[in-house]
Amino acid sequence: MEQPVTSLPLPADVVALVPMRNVVLFPHVLMPVTVGRARSIATIEHALQSKTPIGIVLQKDAAVDEPGLDALCRTGTIANIIRHVTSDDKTHHVICQGVERFQIEELVEGYPFIAARVKRLKESAEVSTQAEALALQLRERAIEILSLLPGVPAELAHSLQATRAPSDLADITASLLDTEVSEKQMLLETIDIEERLQKVLHILSRRIEVLRLSQEISERTKEQMEDRERKFLLHEQLKAIQKELGEDGENDQEIAQLSEAISKAGMPGDIEAQTRKELQRLQRMPSASSEYSMLHTYLEWMTELPWRLPEETPIDLDGARRILEADHFGLERIKQRIIEFLAVQKLKPHGRAPILCFVGPPGVGKTSLGQSIARALQRPFVRVSLGGVHDEAEMRGHRRTYVGAMPGNIVQGLRKAGARNCVMMLDEIDKMSASIQGDPSAALLEILDPEQNSTFRDNYLGVPFDLSRVIFIATANVIDNVSPPVRDRMEIIDLPGYTQEEKLQIALRYLVQRQSEANGLHEEQCTLTPAALENIVANYTREAGVRQFEREIGRVMRHAALRIAEGQQLQVRIDAVDLDAILGPKKFEHELALHTDLPGVATGLAWTPVGGDILFIEATRIHGSGRLILTGQLGDVMKESAQAALTLVKARASDLSIPPVLFDGIDVHLHVPAGAIPKDGPSAGVAMFIALASLFTNRPVRHDVAMTGEISLRGLVLPVGGIKEKILAAQRAGIQTVLLPARNEKDLRDVPEAARKAMQFILLENADDAVQAALSQDGSHVQTPGFKLV
C-alpha cells in the first residue's frame, strides 16, 4: 500500500515549516498557534504522523499567502507539538513548545508543505559573570513590570524566579514583552547571550517607564475627576442655597468664561478696556432681561474675532506657480499678474496690497483664482457674496439698539475665516444696488481703501477693526455696473473667456475627472473621446466659460453610470455619434448655415455680460415717405448709429454707384432679430452701414465675414471694446474673416494664438475699406486684394 505523502520521512537536516504572520516563538516557551493555510495544515499533519518537530518562522510581509524564501525571516524556532485540536471551521489549533533556534539555508521542493534545510544554532554552555549579572537585573525588572500590569497571575512571577539559565530567562522575558513583532524577531536572531540580555533589558526598562507614567496619569486623572465631582456637588448645593435665599447666580460661570475669552482674544488695550466695561454691565444685569442676551451675544462676537495677527508663512513663488498651473489652464497673463502680486507681497509683507478685481463672464474661473491665491499664500479663504445686497447695514452692520442686530458681511467673513490676514473674496460686486436703506457700494469705499481700512468701524461692534492685512479680491461680470469711486480703488483684470481648444483641454484635465468622481465612476469605467467633448462644446453649449459644458459632461456621466449600475456594461466609451441619443438633438447650430446671400443682411459682433455673440442686421426697403424704421429692442446708442449709417450711405451714394432716385418715396426698415432681447452699445455702426450699403447696391454681404466698429459721418471707422470676446464668439460661430477698426489692432495681442491662426483679420480705416472687404463683387465671393491682413 502506498504511503501518504505527509508521512514521508524527512532528512535529518530538513524541517517542515509553519510561516507565521505576526507571531515569534522563543525557545523554552509554550505558545498556542492557529493554522489555517493548506500548506501549514499539511505541516501539522506530517509532524503529528511522523512525530517530528516543526519549524516556526516569521513572514516578512503578513499579506503574502504563499511565501517563498525571500518572504521568510531566516531565523526561526524548532518546536514540539504538545497538543492539537481541530475546530468546526477546519482551523487547526496547536500548542507548541520552543526547543532551539535554527537558520534556514535553502527550501526543499517536492513536499505538500514548506520544507527547508536548516542549521540548528546551538548556544554556548558557558555562562560569563557578566551574563549572570545581567540576568539578575533582568529578573528584578521583569518582576517589577509584572507588578505594574493588572491581572497578572502570581505563577508567572514564580516561574521567572525559578528560571536560572540566563539564556532561558532572556527568551521567556522577551516572549512576555508587549512590543513590536520586528523587535521580537530581532531578539530571536541575537545568538550571543550577553547581547540578547542587554537588548531585552533595554526594551524592558523602556516599557517600565511607560507603565509608570501611565499609572501616574491614571491616578492624576482620577484625582481630577474626584475634584471635579466635588466641585460640581458644591455648585449644586450653592445653587440650591441661592434659590432658597432668592439670589440668582446662574450667570457667574458665563461671566467667568467671557472674562477668560477676553483675556485670550488679544484685543488692543483700549478695545479690551471697553469690552470689559460691557462685561461689568452684563454682570450686573439679571439673566432674564432682554438686554442680557443681546449684550452676551455682542461679547461673544468681540471674543471670537481674530484680533491677533497670526504668524505669516513665507511665500513660495515656485509653489504658487505650480498651484496656478495645476488649478487653471491658459490665462497666462492673469497668472503672471498674480505671481507679480505675490512677489510684491513677499518683498514687502506689510505693504498696502492692491485690490484685484477679476472681471469676466460666468464660469471662467474668477472665484477659483481667488482660492488659488489663498492656497499660494497659505492663508484662510472666505467668500462674501454681494449679489443682491441693497442695504448699507449689510456691509457696516446694524446698530445694537435694534432687535436682531448683527455685524456686517465683512466682520462675519473675518469671524468665519478666523484670521486677520485672510484672503476675502467679494463676489459679484457688480450685483449690488442702492435702495432707501442706503448705498452698500458707498460702504465699500472705506473697506477697499488701504488708507482708511485700518480703522474700519462696524456699527455693531462700535470699535475700529484693522482690515489692512486682509487681501481683498473682487469679482464682477460687468465692470460698468460698479460705481466709479469703487472701481477707482481696484485693479481690473479681465477674464474674457476660453476658446474651443482651451475648453477641450480644461475638460480633459479637470472636468471629466471631477464629474466622474461626482457620479461614482472610476476613471477607467467611462471614457469620453476628444471628438465627443468637441461635439459638446460646439453643438450643446454656447458660453464664454465652462459651467454649462461641465453640466453636459455630468449628463453623459450619469448616463454611463446608469448603464454600469444596471450591469449592461462594465466600461462605457462615449464618442461623438453617441451624443444625440444621450443629450438629444443639437441645441446650437452655426447660424451662418442658415444665412442666405440676400442683399441687406450683415453679420455683426456684440459684447454681452456672458461673453461675445454674433448678431444679424437686416435691412429692407418699402414704399413710404423716407422714414427710418428701427426694430429689435434697440437702445439709444444703436438708434443713433443706425441714423448715422443711413446718412453716410446717402452721402456716399455716388461713390457706391447708388442712383439718388432709390431714396425717393421709400422707408428703410432696419431690424436686429431676437427682438425681445435689449441691445445697445457703440459697436454696430459698421455692420449697419454695410447692411444698408448692401441693400441699396444689391450686392450681398459675404456670409463668412463678421464685423465690429463704429462709424462717423466722415466715414471713419472708430475703435470699440470687447475685441477678444467678439473674436471668440466669431470663432464659435464658424466665421472665417473678421473686420476690425484699425485702431483696435493692439487688442489682437489679447486674442489666443490658436484663434489668431485660425481666422483672418482685416483692419478698417474708413467705410470704403469695409465696403470693399464685406460686399461681394457682382455676386462673387472673391477676396478683394489690397487690404492689410493680420
Catalytic site residues?
Answer: 683, 726
Q: 363 with 548: CB under 8 angstroms?
A: yes
Cell numbers placing 383: 467668500
Give the span between the Cα atoms of 524 and 486, in whole angstroms.
49
Q: 770 with 717: CB under 8 angstroms?
A: yes
Q: 602 with 671: CB under 8 angstroms?
A: no
Q: Cα 160 vs. chain centroid, distance in angstroms?
A: 59
Cell numbers placing 790: 493680420
Give the span between the Cα atoms of 264 and 276, in whole angstroms.
13
CA-to-CA dists, residue 67 to 14, 19, 37, 39, 114, angstroms? 18, 8, 11, 11, 9
User: How many other C-beta atoms lie within 10 A of the C-beta of residue 58?
Assistant: 22
Tell me the Cα Rg of the chain: 42
Give the span between the Cα atoms of 388 and 433, in whole angstroms.
7
Give the span between the Cα atoms of 349 and 341, in whole angstroms.
11
Give the span between the Cα atoms of 671 and 674, in whole angstroms.
9
Q: Which of 762, 700, 682, 690 is closest to 730 using CA atoms?
A: 762
User: How many other C-beta atoms lie within 10 A of the C-beta of residue 213?
Assistant: 10
Q: 593 with 548: CB under 8 angstroms?
A: no
Q: 116 with 64: CB under 8 angstroms?
A: no
Give the span between the Cα atoms of 151 and 149, in whole angstroms.
7
Place of cell 459638446: 536
Q: 450 with 468: CB under 8 angstroms?
A: yes
DSSP-based three-state secondary structure for 314: coil
Give the span between the Cα atoms of 545 and 612, in whole angstroms.
11
Give the span between the Cα atoms of 356 and 346, in whole angstroms.
17
Cell numbers placing 412: 462675519
Enumerate the β-bridge partners of residue 762: 739, 789
DSSP 630-686: EESSB-HHHHHHHHHHHHHHHHTTTTTT--GGGGTTEEEEEE-S-TTS-B--TT-HH
Cell numbers placing 485: 469711486
User: Phi, psi at residue 661, to the nearest 5°?
Assistant: -65, -20
To the nearest 10 degrees (0 to 180), the angle between helices 685-697 and 767-774 is 60
CA-to-CA dists, residue 395 to 59, 327, 433, angstroms? 66, 31, 12
DSSP-based three-state secondary structure for 585: coil
Angle CA 241–243–244, to nearest 5: 65
Q: Cα 103 vs. chain centroid, distance in angstroms?
A: 53
Enumerate the β-bridge partners of residue 619: 670
What does the DSSP 8-state code read for residue 331? -
